[in-house]
Homo-oligomer: A and B are copies of this chain.
Amino acid sequence: MAQTIDAAFVESPLFRAYFLYVSILAVKMLVMSPLTGFTRFKFKAFANPEDGASLKLKPRVDDHVERVRRAHLNDVENIPLFIIVAFIFCLTNPSVAWATLLFRIFTAARFIHTFVYAIFVIPQPARAFAWGTGFFITGYMAFQSIMYFLL
């Protein structure tokens, strides 16, 4: 990679861990789209007239589909923001072990969030805890970054 970018950047253990967990989070988030599509077919609930045309279905709203969509929207609200904030956090000279641990916990929390929201509904506060874990990690990283770059 030396011809395109400083090798020390890509090859550092910190950024290797960052790129790995970001890629895993991206795949997790990508899967929400086919999961929504699958749920739409299962419950025959489409958003557009052309989508259910071959099955002669009119658009309708279904609770199961909306639940998957809310889980997806929650990913959209939280995961790209974490990816951005975690990159900046990596530049604040954190310990590799600590940063990697936070990446792992965030990633696990987002998988759990989707599971308890859209796959197998578990009573609250299961989802609140999963969401809150990701929220506080992102908030912590953003706060550390502000302190580092403000001073």
Contacts and interface: CB of A to CB of B under 8 A. Distances in A.
A97 interface: no
A33 B76 contact: no
B77 A27 contact: no
Contacts of A50: 121, 123-124, 127
B23 A85 contact: yes
Interface string A30-47: 101110000000000001
A142 B12 contact: no
Interface of A: 1-6, 8-10, 12, 14-17, 19-20, 22-24, 26-27, 29-30, 32-34, 47-48, 50-51, 53-54, 67, 70, 72, 76-78, 80-81, 83-85, 88, 90-91, 93, 121, 123-124, 127, 131, 135, 138-139, 142-143, 145-146, 149-150
Closest 9 CB pairs of A and B: A4-B12, A23-B145, A20-B149, A26-B142, A5-B9, A23-B146, A19-B149, A26-B85, A80-B80
13 contacts: A4-B14, A6-B9, A19-B88, A20-B146, A26-B84, A27-B142, A30-B142, A33-B131, A50-B127, A51-B124, A53-B123, A53-B124, A76-B76
